[in-house]
Structure 1
Amino acid sequence: MSILLRHVEVDGRGVDVRITGSRIEAIAPHLDALGSDVVDGRGGALIAGLADHHLHLFAMAAELRSVRCSPAAVGGLAGLAAALSAAPADVHGWVRGVAYHEDVAGLLDAQALDRIHRDRPVRIQHSSGAVWFLNSAAIRATGLAAAHHPAVERDATGRPTGRVWRADDLLRSLLPAGDPPSLREVSRRLARFGIVAVTDATPRLDQERVDLFRAALASGELAQHVTLLGAPLGVDLQEPLLAAGPWKIVLADSELPGIDDLVSEIREAHSSLRPVAAHCVTSASLFLFLAALDEAGTLPGDRIEHAAVVPAPAIGMLAERNLRVVTQPGFLPDRGDRFAAGTPRAEHGDLYRCRSLLDRGIPVAMSSDAPYGPLDPWQVIAAAVDRLIPGGHTLGASEALTPARALESYLTPTRDPGGTPRRLSAGGAADLVLLHQPLGEALREPSCEQVNMVFVRGVPAT
């Protein structure tokens, strides 16, 4: 079967494009329509499909079954209590909340949650993904008191406070067994935005979780190409739809690793021919990682995830070490006011840098960090252009990009984030996005409403 896309714009030219199977067969004016299903593009741009270079697929699926607990969703403490009370429990009687921020009712713990929702086990994730809050019923149900793990925060008497820091794997092992959430709706949402490839940034995946990704791809539940930062070291994972990326290292500021341990982990990844992708959201974690790289050595493809704070002296250090950056300017309109309030004004230009990194030759790729940041890539592109934060103020105006440059970062392959943008060519993969308008017009006001059709491996995605 072939599909003929009539009257589309490719690289500024009006052409027809024929797709046969999973490849682009031809690009030329006035192609023969015989034997093809014809789609009239009406002059809209046809571009390569977008790649989100950092998100968390199963967390996105779980969020669809969760109570949203953000300040915008619940307001204050009374609104949180009402939302939890109205939430249906899962098959095991649990209530799961996401996107909580202390602006709602401070930093939660078991006592605070017990006061508003005592009867059912409740767990709520902070909007950063760094900590889970459990009420007393959840602590009892998980046996958390007996879990000897440094992530379990305890009071002076040794009892769990209800806060569990960066230990999703621990909680998963303590929760009732159940089927993993389906990725079908997540895949549909990605496709609606024009996203055809993703890098899942969840760290330290076990083989069972890797097999879940493989099964979702094989069944068609997940349409996108997937790269895994957390794929186990030593496993050769280079399949047509599923590949291992750099090894994810989380430098959590709540408990930064010792430099010797960090150097050892980098060397272990490099010995497996895996670059490293370091989660760095503060200058402390960034400089620690740079120091560790100086001991361990670098490998092409080593990169910084987030790079939320990059002091000016660090820019040259990143360039000298041939590092790349995968960042999320979409956090600026989402919660940039909080970042600005918690950062000295003189350092506002250090937040979510883009332009200054590119000017030094550092490859930069955009991403969402969904579900912790906004998924819509067109919203992220707009944020990279205007850098507006809630309240209408601009944060770091000198770091702004042109719409075309921001889009290009989404067009780079997952194996080369921030590298050469993918272009359409005969014989190339039919992972495509058809827009309603020519590209120049579409980028004047970036919006997901511009997306007309999406093709993943030559198949229209819905």
Structure 2
Amino acid sequence: MTADTSSDESPTQSAKPTLLRNAEVSPGHHADVRVASGRIVAVGNALISIRGEEVVNARGGALLPGLHDHHLHLTALAAVEMSVACGPPNVRDAATLGVALRNRAAALPPGAWVRGIGYHESVAGLLDRHQLDVLTGDRPVRVQHRGGALWIVNSAAAAMLGLDTVSIDAPPGIERDGAGRSTGRLWRLDGWLRRRLDAVGAVEPEPDLARVGRRLAAYGITGVTDATPDMTPGTLRLLLSAVRDGRLPQSLLLLGVDSLPSDISTDRVRLGPRKLLPPDHVPWPYDNLLTRIRTARGTGPVVPRPVAVHCVTLEGLVVAVTALEEAGVVPGDRIEHAAVAPPALAAQMAALGLRVVTQPGFVAERGDAYRRDADPGDLPYLYPYASLLSAGVPTVASSDAPFGSPDPWAVLRAARDRLAPDGVPLGPTESVSASTALAGMLSPPLRPGDALRSIGPGAPADLCLLHAPRAVALDEPSADLVRMTFCDGRIVHV
């Protein structure tokens, strides 16, 4: 069978051996590539077709070793499809927010919770339960701030969660007013909230991971690093099940769990560095962070285990780097975001051997808001990329989806152009070439920023075939260029 993927004749999830003819396997170098049993088994010129294999004429299109998103949140991305957009550009004032939430409530079964995402205080200030009560009534509602650190619930939801019951076991992230009553704001309590929702029997649809898998495959993404912190056992079971049955075809690196089940039946799920999530503006005391780093070293199959420390403020980065230096850096230690990183800190991170996973897409999506709201002293060092590389810090781009767009090609454009939504550059000296940003996405999941994975015999058949050569794709990066995606040798997008 000869497949011409300009049409949709080839089925997805095909596990047939495949021969890709005339693919650009490296810049300017073309070859035939045979895929079978989840691996690349041959690369050469004029390979002879084998009976029963699918033959694809690549027509000189680039064959890449599959894009890897080094930081996203899978179940949160899936939940976006079932949530109400609560911030710009969809919602810009309180009245529109109320309409959106009430319309969603009317479309759900009685008793089901309404879930909102992407809220920003430019809509109606820093929401609390009382403002949400006015907007939503007595249906339980939870709304997540755009930054991901804050959930706000209304009084109906607060009552179901037991937020007004002062308990010695209550986590400190439950914000309270002067009278000790919950304001409805929950800071850095994703895991706790998930467990409480399960405990009270909150009615919420299960995340559609198959839809997420298809969307990522359409971008050419064959692997992801899920950076969800302190993942609940239920979420872990959901992800493992989705990988096992193929709903989620991508390979998976997990940061937010201490261990995997001993009976796990797939090698496409691995543990990465242990995610540590200090609060942004009231960070853990230094000794607390130091203890957490040392504790994390003892988890996982590789001891000492590296850590991935969340840092979006200058103060947080200073504390994290200092604590890592005292604890002793191990290979694989990394900083998530490094949203504000001046040159002195970049030099210190380089000397310690730390890596950075950054999000240039935020500049394209929020740059004008950063210019308006961020500390002016931070703006020159906001989401740096070029300066980190120049200092010797291995740095790669990621999406942080759903807090940013999951489209890696949009991230490439953002890394290169550094254009805010208003068209004005933000930190143009931090621009890197699309080729540099792509190289980060093609680097090993456990060693982001190291040498690119390659197309060669024995390599995993996690592949992305483009309609055009690499030079053309890098000139105008677009998801429309993705022609075919293989995960573990299966065609999962065509």
**TM-score, normalised on structure 1?**
0.96
Aligned counterpart for 2:39 among listed residues 10, 18, 23: 23
Matched position secondary structure for 2:164 = helix
Correspondences of 1:67-78 after superposition (within 5 Å): 67-78=84-95
- CA distance 1:343–1:370, shift in 2 (3 Å): same
Q: Which amino acid aligns with 1:251?
A: P
1:127 corresponds in structure 2 to 146
2:99 corresponds in structure 1 to 82
**What CA distance in whole angstroms lies between the structure 2 residues aligned with 1:244 and 1:158?**
40
**What CA distance in whole angstroms lies between the structure 2 residues aligned with 1:413 and 1:121?**
43
- CA distance 1:90–1:309, shift in 2 (3 Å): farther
Correspondences of 1:422-441 after superposition (within 5 Å): 422-441=453-472
- CA distance 1:168–1:425, shift in 2 (3 Å): same
Aligned counterpart for 2:118 among listed residues 94, 99, 102: 99
Matched, 1:356 2:387: yes
Correspondences of 1:158-237 after superposition (within 5 Å): 158-175=180-197, 176-177=200-201, 180-232=206-258
- Equivalent residues, number: 462
**What CA distance in whole angstroms lies between the structure 1 residues aligned with 2:110 and 2:20?**
46
Matched position secondary structure for 2:475 = coil
- CA distance 1:349–1:90, shift in 2 (3 Å): farther
**What CA distance in whole angstroms lies between the structure 2 residues aligned with 1:420 and 1:94?**
46
2:68 corresponds in structure 1 to 51
Matched, 1:276 2:276: no
**What CA distance in whole angstroms lies between the structure 2 residues aligned with 1:144 and 1:171?**
11
- CA distance 1:452–1:234, shift in 2 (3 Å): closer
- Checking the alignment, whether the CA contact within 8 Å between 2:111 and 2:139 is kept in structure 1 is no
Q: Which amino acid aligns with 2:72?
A: L
**What CA distance in whole angstroms lies between the structure 1 residues aligned with 2:160 and 2:260?**
36
- Checking the alignment, whether the CA contact within 8 Å between 1:143 and 1:174 is kept in structure 2 is no
**What CA distance in whole angstroms lies between the structure 1 residues aligned with 2:45 and 2:259?**
48
**What CA distance in whole angstroms lies between the structure 2 residues aligned with 1:129 and 1:245?**
21
User: More displaced, 292-301 or 97-106?
Assistant: 292-301
Matched position secondary structure for 1:271 = coil
Matched position secondary structure for 1:440 = helix
Alpha-carbon displacement from aligned partner over 1:302-340 (angstroms, at most 9, x marks no partner):
110011100221011101110000010000111111122
2:8 corresponds in structure 1 to none
Matched, 1:318 2:349: yes
1:117 corresponds in structure 2 to 136
Q: Which amino acid aligns with 2:145?
A: H
Q: Which amino acid aligns with 1:82?
A: V
Structure 1 residues without counterparts, runs of 5 or longer = none
Q: Which amino acid aligns with 1:99?
A: G
Alpha-carbon displacement from aligned partner over 1:196-235 (angstroms, at most 9, x marks no partner):
1111101112444333322221111211111110111698
Q: Which amino acid aligns with 1:260?
A: D
State the superposition RMSD in angstroms: 1.8
**What CA distance in whole angstroms lies between the structure 1 residues aligned with 2:375 and 2:178?**
34
User: More displaced, 446-455 or 292-301?
Assistant: 292-301
**What CA distance in whole angstroms lies between the structure 1 residues aligned with 2:347 and 2:340?**
14
Structure 2 residues without counterparts, runs of 5 or longer = 1-15
Q: Which amino acid aligns with 2:77?
A: M
**What CA distance in whole angstroms lies between the structure 2 residues aligned with 1:85 and 1:346?**
41
Q: Which amino acid aligns with 1:32?
A: I
1:151 corresponds in structure 2 to 173
Query: How far off its partner does 1:20 sit?
Result: 1.3
Percent identity, aligned pairs only?
Answer: 45
Aligned counterpart for 1:139 among listed residues 138, 150, 158: 158
1:296 corresponds in structure 2 to 327
User: More displaced, 171-180 or 61-70?
Assistant: 171-180
- Checking the alignment, whether the CA contact within 8 Å between 1:55 and 1:367 is kept in structure 2 is yes
Matched position secondary structure for 1:388 = coil
Query: How far off its partner does 1:112 sit?
Result: 0.9
Matched position secondary structure for 1:123 = strand
- Checking the alignment, whether the CA contact within 8 Å between 1:263 and 1:293 is kept in structure 2 is yes
Query: How far off its partner does 1:17 sit?
Result: 1.3
**What CA distance in whole angstroms lies between the structure 1 residues aligned with 2:265 and 2:340?**
33
User: More displaced, 235-244 or 428-437?
Assistant: 235-244
**TM-score, normalised on structure 2?**
0.90
